[in-house]
Amino acid sequence: RSGKMAKSTKLIDNEVFQAYATYTAIVLLKMMLMSLITAYFRITRKAFVNPEDTASFGKGDSAKKYLRTDPDVERVRRGHLNDLENIVPFVGIGLLYALSGPELSSALLHFRIFTGARILHTLAYLIPLPQPGRGLSWAVGYAVTFSMAYQVLKTVLFL
Amino acid sequence: RSGKMAKSTKLIDNEVFQAYATYTAIVLLKMMLMSLITAYFRITRKAFVNPEDTASFGKGDSAKKYLRTDPDVERVRRGHLNDLENIVPFVGIGLLYALSGPELSSALLHFRIFTGARILHTLAYLIPLPQPGRGLSWAVGYAVTFSMAYQVLKTVLFL
Amino acid sequence: RSGKMAKSTKLIDNEVFQAYATYTAIVLLKMMLMSLITAYFRITRKAFVNPEDTASFGKGDSAKKYLRTDPDVERVRRGHLNDLENIVPFVGIGLLYALSGPELSSALLHFRIFTGARILHTLAYLIPLPQPGRGLSWAVGYAVTFSMAYQVLKTVLFL
């Protein structure tokens, strides 16, 4: 593929950018999956938050009792928020990192470890695994993003 | 505009990217609007969460009673969080999709439907409309983002 | 540095983009810091939300009492969510703005004011400072992002 790179100035023909695009799409799809899991638990646990969502269960008290929190729903929601808190920095800093001209092998290492760590984090949250399973998977993803931010600032610092 | 594209290698002169920039700015401004609506309801409903925010109502119990949750405030906040959960993947995956060389007509279709769906979602949440209004508008935006992610992975997959 | 710019079509060699990359990395790192502060308060206040996180305190009621909310933890979490709500639009709209060809001095002004405002917002939230300290720092960051969105839409509008 290096021949293609030499001829093209298009971002999308750059292998590091292709790797960034691939892993970013994967982690964002993984994050989007949390919405479906939340919906699944809301429906199976009959635990809703908006009155209009329980209208199909009848009127008055018969529907109102389904306006409640459920531990499984809340657990998925915490996992989803943790994804937002960690995947947003990865997507933003990862883009800058991919454009800063890293070695392909180094970029792949960062992207793969982050993606693996976030998938493990979700599993650790939802199963749930005993600690420090979730804590470690969170810390690995955090460290990868920090390492990319360091590379970006080292390359482009313009204050 | 095609003459401009042929001469320029700048992203911003690419029509697909211009469309991405336009719709991304619109949906992010729409998301930012949720902060103003939250502030409006907090002030009109006198429902705050930080003690320092109620200091102007006096000291002690006269101010403390305004540290409470309000259904309207919480509803806007849920809409805001739902925006974050759905607009973040659109912005990230949409950028990669715009760079992956889609047909302009296809890209416009994706961006327009997503933007329309998210505006409808906000209206459905805030009015509120009976279900499945909010659910459908959410699902349409979700499906558009998924379709763009599929195009990205089909074009650039580099694992 | 202008000689480099003239020879290169690479984004990363553009000074406006370098400034965007620098300030985006800084505000995203600042946002990531909120996770560490949350963890610090959870551990020092012994206030957790997942049962598996309190397993090291023993079994049954001796561990269960640490499943509680703490005002300091909740305060950091609100600051973190506010970061997500405001830094996500900055990162997305700022990228489009940086690519839309602004004057370097104008771009630096936007990026510096936003970054300063968000650091002040975090300090105002965590210390906490009396209002309108937090409110004003929020509004300044919001206005900067709105100004960049206006520039983007003025430059690229393609509906």
| CATH code for position B111 | 1.20.120.550
Residue C11 domain-assigned (yes or no): no
What whole-number distance in Å separates Cα of residue C71 and Cα of residue A50? 26
Closest C-alpha to C29, from A106, A79, A145: A145
Residues of chain B in contact with residue C158, where contact means CB-CB under 8 angstroms, are: 15, 18-19, 21-22
- B52 contact partners, CB below 8 Å, separation of at least 6: C128, C129, C130, C131, C134
What whole-number distance in Å separates Cα of residue C78 and Cα of residue B50? 10
Cβ–Cβ gap C96/B24 under 8 Å: yes
Of A63 and B44, the structure prediction assigns the larger pLDDT to B44
When pLDDT is averaged across residues C136-149 and rounded to a whole number, the result is 98
C48: β partners? C67
Residue A20 domain-assigned (yes or no): yes
Q: Between B89, B129, B156, which is nearest A18 by CB?
A: B156
Q: Is the backbone of residue B58 left (phi > 0), alpha (psi -120 to 50) or beta?
A: left
What whole-number distance in Å separates Cα of residue C153 and Cα of residue A8? 29
User: Nearest C-alpha of chain B: how many angstroms from C103?
Assistant: 15
When pLDDT is averaged across residues C40-57 and rounded to a whole number, the result is 94
Q: Determine the pLDDT at residue C8.
A: 66
pLDDT at B6 over 60: no
* Portion 42-71 of A in contact with B at CB < 8 A: 49-50, 52-53, 55-56
Is residue B121 within 8 A of residue A116, CB to CB? The reply is no
When pLDDT is averaged across residues A14-42 and rounded to a whole number, the result is 98
Percent of chain B scoring above 90 in pLDDT: 86
3-state helix, strand, coil in chain C (%, to 5): 80, 0, 20
Cβ–Cβ gap B85/A88 under 8 Å: no
Residues of chain C in contact with residue A126, where contact means CB-CB under 8 angstroms, are: none
For chain A, the C-alpha Rg in angstroms (whole number) is 20
Residue C127 domain-assigned (yes or no): yes
Buried-state track C62-71, b at ≥16 Cβ within 10 A, e below 16: ebeebeeebe
Residue B159 domain-assigned (yes or no): no
What whole-number distance in Å separates Cα of residue C50 and Cα of residue A127? 12
- H helix intervals, C45-132: 61-64, 71-99, 104-126
How confident is residue A154, by pLDDT bands cut at 50, 70 and 90?
Answer: very high
Closest C-alpha to A72, from A41, A44, A46, A48: A41
Residue C53 domain-assigned (yes or no): no
Q: Between B22, B87, B91, which is nearest C156 by CB?
A: B22
Q: Between A15, A18, A84, which is nearest B84 by CB?
A: A84
Percent of chain B scoring above 70 in pLDDT: 94
Burial class from Cβ neighbours inside 10 Å (0-12, 13-18, 19+) for residue A46 reads middle
* Domain that residue A83 falls in: 16-42+71-153
Is residue C98 within 8 A of residue C23, CB to CB? The reply is no
Cβ–Cβ gap B99/A15 under 8 Å: no
Give the tokens for residue A61: 């008290």
User: Nearest C-alpha of chain C: how many angstroms from B131?
Assistant: 26
Q: Is A11 on the interface with B (CB under 8 A)?
A: yes
Of A10 and B114, the structure prediction assigns the larger pLDDT to B114
Of A105 and C8, the structure prediction assigns the larger pLDDT to A105
Q: Is B128 on the interface with A (CB under 8 A)?
A: yes
How confident is residue C130, by pLDDT bands cut at 50, 70 and 90?
Answer: very high
What average pLDDT does the structure give for chain A? 93
Closest C-alpha to C54, from A130, A24, A143, A103: A130
Cβ–Cβ gap C12/A100 under 8 Å: yes
Q: Angle, nearest 10°, between helix axes B15-44 and B71-99?
A: 170
Q: Angle, nearest 10°, between helix axes A15-44 and B71-99?
A: 150
How confident is residue A18, by pLDDT bands cut at 50, 70 and 90?
Answer: very high
What average pLDDT does the structure give for chain B? 93
Chain A residue with Cα closest to C80: A85
Cβ–Cβ gap C130/B55 under 8 Å: yes
User: Nearest C-alpha of chain A: how many angstroms from B62?
Assistant: 30
What whole-number distance in Å separates Cα of residue C41 and Cα of residue C44? 5
Residue C23 domain-assigned (yes or no): yes
- Residue appearing with tokens 């991304």: B24
User: Nearest C-alpha of chain B: how many angstroms from A132?
Assistant: 27
pLDDT at C134 over 70: yes
Cβ–Cβ gap A84/B89 under 8 Å: no
Percent of chain A scoring above 90 in pLDDT: 86
Q: Is A2 on the interface with B (CB under 8 A)?
A: no
Percent of chain C scoring above 70 in pLDDT: 95
pLDDT at B155 over 70: yes
What whole-number distance in Å separates Cα of residue A20 and Cα of residue A110? 10
What's the distance, CA C87 to chain centroid? Answer: 4
Q: Is A123 on the interface with C (CB under 8 A)?
A: no
Residues of chain A in contact with residue C55, where contact means CB-CB under 8 angstroms, are: 130-131
C67: β partners? C48
Above 0.85 for ipTM, yes or no?
yes
- H helix intervals, chain B: 2-7, 15-44, 61-64, 71-99, 104-126, 133-156
Q: Determine the pLDDT at residue B10.
A: 85
Cβ–Cβ gap A89/C12 under 8 Å: no
How confident is the model over C89-116, as pLDDT tens digits? 999 999 999 999 999 999 999 999 999 9
Number of domains composing chain B:
1
Give the tokens for residue B99: 């760079």
Q: Determine the pLDDT at residue A59.
A: 79
When pLDDT is averaged across residues B136-141 and rounded to a whole number, the result is 98
Window from B9-18, B34-43, B121-130, C57-66 with minimum mean pLDDT:
C57-66
- Return the residue in A20, A31, A69, A88 with the most chain C beta carbons within 10 A, the one to mutate for interface testing: A88
Q: Is C146 on the interface with B (CB under 8 A)?
A: yes
Q: Is C48 helix (H, G, I), strand (E, B) or coil?
A: strand
Percent of chain A scoring above 70 in pLDDT: 95
DSSP-derived letter for residue C65 is T
Residue A11 domain-assigned (yes or no): no
What whole-number distance in Å separates Cα of residue B24 and Cα of residue B29? 8
What's the distance, CA B24 to chain centroid? Answer: 9
pLDDT at A3 over 60: no
Is residue C141 within 8 A of residue C122, CB to CB? The reply is no
Q: Determine the pLDDT at residue C2.
A: 44
Residue C107 domain-assigned (yes or no): yes
Q: Determine the pLDDT at residue B5.
A: 41
Q: Determine the pLDDT at residue B127.
A: 97
How confident is residue A7, by pLDDT bands cut at 50, 70 and 90?
Answer: low
Closest C-alpha to A49, from A19, A74, A27, A76: A74
Q: Determine the pLDDT at residue C7.
A: 54
Neighbours of chain C (3+ CB pairs under 8 A): A, B
Chain B residue with Cα closest to A28: B89
Give the tokens for residue A125: 């949250």
pLDDT at A8 over 80: no
pLDDT at B134 over 50: yes
